[in-house]
């Protein structure tokens, strides 16, 4: 099968195929490189055929974000609140770090689909089951989301990082601020995984009691 422009078309075009190709494009070239025309060339189809499945570039980017969200595994069966929240947090982090160039789509875009609501349900349900009244469960949800977005944005370089260099260490040491000077070696570096685990442990401790 070939397109009307003579390029080979590998398989039937579908929304899933388009979104996966879009994610691969972001992985390879970054978000700024995404266009419907470039994606069509990648798939070997006419650009207009994409619009039968996705309603333009914004819908494409939303769909790619949904692919990432759908990859987050559910918590283990019969897990308690701490185990459930830890599994969800680690699953979220791993899903986004597997596609760091696409991660800002999840971290910065407001999605309205049912796929986007699935993680909300996954966090709210164990909080409610643990005895949180709905209002406090929502507070817990938003605290968890804020923590995950903040740490992940830093990890994927979508926000300033605390990491640095020898010059950064020298600047901190020479700051003349006693606390900054004392902590300068730690401030000049950032172990993302250690930072994540430290923050997550504090979060889980706080959520332990409704």
pLDDT per position as a tens digit, 119-164: 889 999 999 999 999 999 999 999 999 999 999 998 887 555 555 5
pLDDT single digits (tens) 29-50: 999 999 999 999 999 999 999 9
One DSSP character per residue, 50-69 reads HTTTS-SHHHHHHHHHHHHH
Q: What is the average per-residue pLDDT within 165-190?
A: 89
Residues 63 and 82 in one domain: no
Question: How many helices and strands in the chain, by DSSP H and E?
Answer: 12, 0
Return the pLDDT at 75: 86
Q: Has residue 55 been placed in a domain?
A: yes
CATH number (domain holding residue 154): 1.10.357.10
Number of domains in the chain: 2
Indicate if 127 and 192 belong to the same structural domain. yes
For the cut 80, the answer to whether the pLDDT of residue 9 exceeds it is no
CA separation (Å) from 152 to 94, 106, 117, 147, 195? 10, 10, 19, 8, 11
CATH number for the domain harbouring residue 63: 1.10.10.60
Residue 205 has pLDDT above 70, yes or no: yes
Report pLDDT for 209: 72
109 DSSP 8-state letter: -
Residue 204 has pLDDT above 60, yes or no: yes
Burial 174-184, CB ≥16 within 10 A → b, else e: eeeeeeeeeeb
Domain with 26, as residue range(s), is 15-68
Tell me which residue of 163, 152, 159, 156 sits closest to 186, measured CA to CA.
163
User: What is the distance, to the nearest Å, from the Cα of residue 158 to the centroid of all Cα atoms in its chain?
Assistant: 11
What local confidence, expressed as pLDDT, does residue 118 receive?
86
Domain identity same for 80 and 174 = yes
Task: Check the CA dihedral 120-121-124-130 and report its sign.
Answer: negative
Question: Does pLDDT of 106 surpass 70?
Answer: yes
What pLDDT is recorded for position 159? Answer: 55
């Amino acid at each position: 099968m070939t397109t009307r422009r003579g390029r080979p078309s590998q398989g039937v075009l579908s929304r899933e195929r388009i979104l996966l190709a879009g994610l691969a494009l972001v992985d390879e070239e970054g978000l700024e490189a995404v266009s419907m025309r470039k994606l069509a060339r990648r798939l070997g189809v006419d650009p207009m055929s994409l619009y039968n499945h996705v309603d333009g570039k914004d819908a494409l980017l939303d769909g790619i974000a949904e692919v990432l969200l759908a990859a987050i595994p559910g918590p283990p069966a019969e897990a308690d609140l701490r185990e459930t929240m830890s599994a969800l947090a680690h699953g979220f982090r791993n899903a986004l770090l597997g596609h760091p160039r696409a991660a800002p789509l999840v971290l910065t875009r407001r999605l309205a689909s049912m796929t986007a609501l699935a993680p909300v349900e996954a966090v709210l349900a164990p909080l409610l089951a643990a005895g949180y009244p709905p209002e406090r469960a929502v507070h817990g949800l938003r605290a968890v989301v804020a923590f995950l977005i903040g740490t992940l944005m830093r990890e994927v370089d979508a926000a300033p990082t605390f990491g640095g260099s020898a010059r950064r260490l020298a600047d901190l040491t020479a700051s003349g601020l006693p606390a900054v000077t004392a902590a300068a070696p730690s401030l000049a570096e950032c172990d993302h995984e250690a930072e994540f685990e430290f923050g997550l442990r504090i979060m889980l401790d706080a959520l332990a009691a409704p």
